[in-house]
Amino acid sequence: MSLLHKNVSAVSEAIFREQRQLRKERLLASPGLIIGFVGFVIILILAVLVPALSSADPNAMVVVDRLKPPSAEHILGTDEFGRDLFVRLMYGARVSLWVGGCVAIFSCVLGVVIGIYASYFKVLDHILMRICDGLIAIPGILLAIALIAALGTSSWNVVVALTIVYTPSVARTVRASAMVVREQPYVEAAKVQGFSDFRILWKLILPGVISPLTVQASFIFAQAIISEASLSFLGAGVPAPAASWGNMLQASKLVFSKAPWTMICPGAAVVVCVLSLNLMGDGLRDFMDPRTKGGAKK
Amino acid sequence: MLSYIAKRILSLIPVMFVVSCVVFLVVYLIPGGPATALLGMEATPEQIEALNTELGFNRPFLVQYADWFTGIFRGDWGESYFLHQSVLEAIAEYFTPTLSLAILAQLFALLLSVPLGILAAYRRGTVLDVASVSISLLGAALPGFMLSMFLMLFFGVYHQWFPVAGYASLAEGIGEHLKYLFVPALSLGIVQAAYITRMTRSSLLETLYKNYIRTARSKGLKEARVVLRYALKNAAPAILTAVGQSFGSLITGTIVTETLFNIPGIGMLTMGSIDRRDVFVIQGVVLFVTFLYVLVNLIVDILYGFVDPRLQPGRK
């Protein structure tokens, strides 16, 4: 008896080791995931640390230093009010990442609740999915503009508007994966055993939808950052004088032909951040896709 | 085919119904009613009350909605309080420049993306392929208006080949019209092209390894003919889908770009309305653009059947 037990544990040990090895190979096969993750973490650390460690005020105006090009004193130059662009960029990162992160989290949580219940209850499915279809039919930024025009401009309203924009697509993805999981024999077995619907949904179906969800969360994070920038650029985003990347771009609209650095710095920040997140999402998708092989490429 | 189109149009009814509810709710849910938004901070409660009564916003919810909903079909989309014209008139007036810009941008996008996507798929793994994939990744990360600013700087400020900003209507001559629209359309087109290139490449990659392509090659057909006629034809539905799906981002991109280039289109109308909190105009614009977006995707769906007869409904 103990011999058998030993064998079993040895075999399972070997399987675990093999799986770990496979995962490692797959991880190394998608460099995008690593590059994107590292890039994003660096931005995150900068956004958290720089404002915390430096005493510079992002809104301090020094009018004599208006529109100064990058120099030793201001490494990224100054804007039209003589505010240091590097300091503003870092404070802006906090706002932009906060908006993006909140939108990603809120829309995922809401999307999971809607998607999972829609996949399980027929009547709810029809109602919820028609509502999602309608919301998806409205171009995202436009819906956000309308909501912000109604609610008034504030960074919370940007988060609310963008969450409403992105939730339906999450709900759809979650519903599609949940439909597949629902048909699995173990869910049927649980039903036969008399599990409550609540327990089936949250204990059995939820784990099956997590992996596509994480991929989508990183894309939504990236999209939300671009959308925040576009909204702020239109004057429907985070209100001035608070710094956000979109806000800084909007401010540079009037002066960028004379002082291109006022546009390039926040613009580059948006591009690098969104690119990192997109690479991370693509990499995660490849990593979680069982068809992607580790080691040599197909 | 006809029954398919009819079915497809019928399936739009619930979508547009939900859209109308959302658009209506946007105005209904304004804290304090739309009058608060229209009159601004200084308005007294009596003024707000009076305007809400005038606009009928103190009637029961369903009555308001029914009235508004039937109004849409009667061509009554509300009045703009600041432009002193009806919303529909305002949209019609501001729509032409947007349409011109969107068409031109789509043209640029197709001219750039389809050849690049074909080349990238055909020369898979080469420098060209890697470059096109990286550019399209970069394009996906770039907010459209950033590129507009760069191109404005390059074409308008540093080289002065094109006017920096502004707009000339078609009535002032097609050359003048295109001169003003070139830079904004190019920047929008490049952003669109990033997405369409990726789709073209991936759909062509799938078809290029199919058996009938091998057959065509072994028959001794010229490579150009194999790729352009046999492979591209089968990749066309995917490209078409990409065009339809990216129309939404094209039109919102147009809105943002217009404000930068001072083009008097829907974007300027929207932006002015945000500043004035002219909620009925915004409501109208959202409804109108969504309708357009849905319509474009309907046309794309119908075109499938023509591009690829296998996708024709009712065919086995």
- As for how many domains chain B has, the answer is 2
Indicate whether B49 and B121 sit together in one domain: no
Distance from CA of B19 to the nearest CA of A (A): 5
User: Closest Cα to residue B208, out of B220, B217, B199?
Assistant: B217
Task: Please check whether residue A241 touches B, CB under 8 A.
Answer: no
Nearest CA in chain B to A246: B143
The type of residue at B229 is R
Indicate whether B122 and B227 sit together in one domain: yes
Q: B247 lies in a domain?
A: yes
Q: Which of B73, B107, B131 is the last residue of a domain?
A: B73
pLDDT of residue A292: 56
Q: Which DSSP helix (H) or strand (E) runs through B79?
A: strand B79-80
Sign of CA dihedral B22, B23, B28, B30: positive
Q: A40 lies in a domain?
A: no
Cβ(A281)–Cβ(A272) under 8 Å? no
Q: B249 lies in a domain?
A: yes
What domain range is A226 assigned to? 96-236+247-287
The type of residue at A168 is P
Indicate whether B6 and B124 sit together in one domain: no
Q: B164 lies in a domain?
A: no
Indicate whether B95 and B216 sit together in one domain: yes
Indicate whether B134 and B12 sit together in one domain: no
Scored b (16 or more CB within 10 A) or e, A37-54 reads bebbeebbeebeebbeee
Kindly determine whether residue B141 and residue A229, on different chains, have CB atoms separated by under 8 Å: no
pLDDT digits (tens, 9 = 90+) for A31-65: 888 889 999 999 999 888 887 777 777 777 676 67
Which DSSP string corresponds to B227-285? IIIIIHHHHHHHHHHHHHHHHHHHHHHHHHHHHHHT--SHHHHHHHHHHHT-HHHHHHH
* Rounded-to-integer distance, Cα B157 and Cα B163, Å: 8
Helix, strand, or coil (residue B30): coil
Indicate whether B68 and B94 sit together in one domain: no
Kindly determine whether residue B271 and residue A234, on different chains, have CB atoms separated by under 8 Å: yes
Q: Which of B25, B48, B73 is the last residue of a domain?
A: B73
Which DSSP string corresponds to chain A? -HHHHHHHHHHHHHHHHHHHHHHHHHHHH-HHHHHHHHHHHHHHHHHHHHHHH----TT---GGGTTPPS-SSSTT-B-TT--BHHHHHHHHHHHHHHHHHHHHHHHHHHHHHHHHHHHH-HHHHHHHHHHHHHHHHS-HHHHHHHHHHHH-S-HHHHHHHHHHHHHHHHHHHHHHHHHHHHTSHHHHHHHHTT--HHHIIIIIIHHHHHHHHHHHHHHHHHHHHHHHHHHHHHT-SSPTTS--HHHHHHHHTTTTTT-THHHHHHHHHHHHHHHHHHHHHHHHHHHH-TTS-SSS--
The label of the residue with tokens 């000339």 reads: B168
* Rounded-to-integer distance, Cα B284 and Cα B87, Å: 6
Highest mean pLDDT pick, A33-37, A164-168, B116-120: A164-168
Q: Check which CATH number belongs to the domain holding A277 and give it.
A: 1.10.3720.10
Indicate whether A270 pLDDT > 80. yes
Paired residues of B86 in beta bridges: B79
Q: What angle do CA B232, B238, B241 make, to 5 degrees?
A: 135
What domain range is B16 assigned to? 2-73
Indicate whether B98 and B131 sit together in one domain: yes
Sign of CA dihedral B40, B43, B48, B50: negative
Q: Which residue has the higher pLDDT, B76 or B137?
A: B137
Q: B178 lies in a domain?
A: no
For residue A24, name the pLDDT band (cuts at 50, 70, 90): confident
Task: Please check whether residue A109 touches B, CB under 8 A.
Answer: no
Cβ(B243)–Cβ(B196) under 8 Å? yes
pLDDT of residue B316: 47
For residue A294, name the pLDDT band (cuts at 50, 70, 90): very low
Q: B166 lies in a domain?
A: no
Indicate whether B199 and B53 sit together in one domain: no
* Rounded-to-integer distance, Cα A89 and Cα A70, Å: 14
Kindly determine whether residue A148 and residue B153, on different chains, have CB atoms separated by under 8 Å: no
Q: A150 lies in a domain?
A: yes
Residue A286's Cβ-side half-sphere holds a number of Cα atoms within 13 Å equal to 21
For residue A298, name the pLDDT band (cuts at 50, 70, 90): very low
* Rounded-to-integer distance, Cα B184 and Cα B263, Å: 9
Which residues of chain A have a CB within 8 Å of the CB of B18? Answer: 130-131, 133-135, 137
- Residue B237 CB contacts under 8 Å (≥ 6 apart), including other chains: B203, B304, B307, B308, B311
Kindly determine whether residue A130 and residue B14, on different chains, have CB atoms separated by under 8 Å: yes
- Would you state the structure tokens that stand for residue B124, as one six-digit string? 């898979």
Q: B40 lies in a domain?
A: yes
* Rounded-to-integer distance, Cα A138 and Cα A147, Å: 12
Indicate whether B95 and B134 sit together in one domain: yes
Which residues of chain B have a CB within 8 Å of the CB of A234? Answer: 255-256, 259, 270-271, 274
Q: A297 lies in a domain?
A: no
Q: Which of B73, B101, B120 is the last residue of a domain?
A: B73
DSSP state of B309: G
Distance from CA of B56 to the nearest CA of A (A): 18
Q: A170 lies in a domain?
A: yes
Indicate whether B16 and B138 sit together in one domain: no
Least confident of A89-103, A168-182, B184-198, B236-250: B236-250
pLDDT digits (tens, 9 = 90+) for B268-303: 888 888 777 788 888 888 899 999 888 888 888 888
* Rounded-to-integer distance, Cα A111 and Cα B30, Å: 24
* Rounded-to-integer distance, Cα A104 and Cα B118, Å: 35
Indicate whether A82 pLDDT > 80. no
Cβ(B196)–Cβ(B242) under 8 Å? yes
Indicate whether B26 and B110 sit together in one domain: no
DSSP state of B56: T
pLDDT digits (tens, 9 = 90+) for A171-211: 999 999 998 888 889 988 998 998 988 888 888 888 888 88
User: Closest Cα to residue B147, out of A282, A95, A270?
Assistant: A270
Q: Check which CATH number belongs to the domain holding B193 and give it.
A: 1.10.3720.10
Paired residues of B79 in beta bridges: B86
Task: Please check whether residue A270 touches B, CB under 8 A.
Answer: yes
- As for how many domains chain A has, the answer is 1
User: Average pLDDT, stretch B213-242?
Assistant: 85
Indicate whether B137 and B26 sit together in one domain: no
User: Closest Cα to residue A168, out of A139, A208, A203, A204?
Assistant: A139
Phi/psi of residue A193, nearest 5 degrees = -75, -5
For residue A99, name the pLDDT band (cuts at 50, 70, 90): very high
- Of A134, A151, A263, which has the smallest distance from its Cβ to B22's Cβ? A134
